[in-house]
Amino acid sequence: MGIGTVGAGTFTVLSRNQDEIRRRAGRGIEVTMVADLNTERAKEIVGDAAQVVADARQIIANPEIDVVVELIGGYGIAKALVLEAIAAGKHVVTANKALLAVHGTEIFAAARAKGVVVAFEAAVAGGIPIIKALREGLTANHIQWVAGIINGTTNFILSEMRDKGLDFDVVLKEAQRLGYAEADPTFDIEGVDAAHKATLISAIAFGVPVQFDKAYVEGIAKLSATDITYAEQLGYRIKLLGITKRRDSGIELRVHPTLIPTKRLIANVEGAMNAVVVQADAVGTTLYYGKGAGSEPTASAVIADLVDIGRLLDAAPASRVPSLAFQHDELSTLPILPIEDVITSFYLRLRVADQAGVLAKITGILAEQEISIDAVIQREADEVSGEGGNQTDLIILTHDTTEGRMNKVLGQIQALPSVLAPVVRLRKEELA
């Protein structure tokens, strides 16, 4: 259902590697019907190899079809078609992270009741097999946290901002020109796409229901080249990270620009590439790196799901790997924590009057709230506001504290007459 970029890649790779896939799956995987509103384009892709129809419900009604591949995207018709396919007793493979992040609980329940599989490796990080790693490869582990660069568009933009010293708006236009960003890039640059993926990762890592509405989401549109430069000078890179952590009181689930030490491998993931770091008790730290989008990389994940279904087609539902890695009746009730309860460290940039006592007042406010300082840099006033200038930038790195406590501190600092502009606050993760 849908034969655009990923659908065409799936058809191509299936055709090209059919013999290899059959040897692995134990049976052939044949595309017999393709549904797309643009039937002419679909026919150009598949030729005489499959029947092309405009109505996706013809696929669902076909009793000979075992598996439906949904590559339409979005929340609307895709949801209806997936649920109808499940009701018809068909397994479903999808790359639709938005659909599963928002409606996954309903869809997985329907699949469980009908005894069919909903597989979604392609929904997170394109061709990187992170879902399989979390759900199967790391099944012996107590996973502590997962952090990932899981949106290639924003990573490309941040890499360009750092390399060329340009501001966000300039680089976004270039990314659109080169095809890395959509004409409407909102889902990418506001962090929504990454949050869809982080929601699925969190559910699988910790055995909790998908709860996209509880995620904290902050994009990169307000990020300044100035902060990228200062972070670099302090030994950090800024990346848009999807982060989920297990704590005794609940699960952190958040997406936001994050300072990472440059010595971490993930800090050096550039361009449109994706990477995910998993910290677990038995295996320690593992890193998964590769292309997070594109026709054939994503097709690779779609076909891996098809092979899994092919291998287990005759297996009893209880013998299959659960959708969210944990048995349904063993899902945790740990809540998703509000952002105010999240524990992290911070980068603060303050534009202040270049006068005596300013730093002492600011550090005093931090001390009152028991927030310890990791590092402080004060720029020369001439560098910030020109020769003879009377303004300077003060950059402070803190140790861990709660977001709620930092909010109180920033309210007090912002009220100081010597603070001349809104304080820039970014979160910092050591990922150690």
Q: What are the pLDDT tens digits along the chain (432 aa)? A: 999 999 999 999 999 999 999 999 999 999 999 999 999 999 999 999 999 999 999 999 999 999 999 999 998 899 999 999 999 999 999 999 999 999 999 999 999 999 999 999 999 999 999 999 999 999 999 999 999 999 999 999 999 999 999 999 999 999 999 888 888 999 999 999 999 999 999 999 999 999 999 999 999 999 999 999 999 999 999 999 999 999 999 999 999 999 999 999 999 999 999 999 999 999 999 999 999 988 999 999 999 999 999 998 888 888 888 899 898 889 999 999 999 999 999 999 999 998 888 999 999 999 999 999 999 988 776 566 555 568 899 999 999 999 999 999 999 999 999 999 999 999 999 998
Tell me what pLDDT residue 388 has: 55
Distance CA 343, CA 405 (A): 10
Distance CA 118, CA 324 (A): 10
The domains found in the chain, sorted by start residue, are 5-127+295-330 (3.40.50.720), 130-291 (3.30.360.10), 341-428 (3.30.70.260)
Tell me what pLDDT residue 252 has: 98
Name 111's Cβ contacts closer than 8 Å, sequence gap at least 6. Answer: 86, 92, 117, 118, 323
Distance CA 272, CA 143 (A): 27
Distance CA 272, CA 71 (A): 21
Name the catalytic one among 97, 197, 239, 428: 197
Tell me what pLDDT residue 178 has: 87
The question of whether 263 is a catalytic residue gets the answer no
Tell me what pLDDT residue 355 has: 87
Residue from 148, 154, 228 nearest 187 by CA: 154
Tell me what pLDDT residue 329 has: 86
Tell me what pLDDT residue 316 has: 85
Distance CA 296, CA 40 (A): 22
Residue 110's CB: how many other CB atoms inside 10 A? 19
Q: Is 332 exposed, middle or buried (0-12, 13-18, 19+ CB in 10 A)?
A: middle
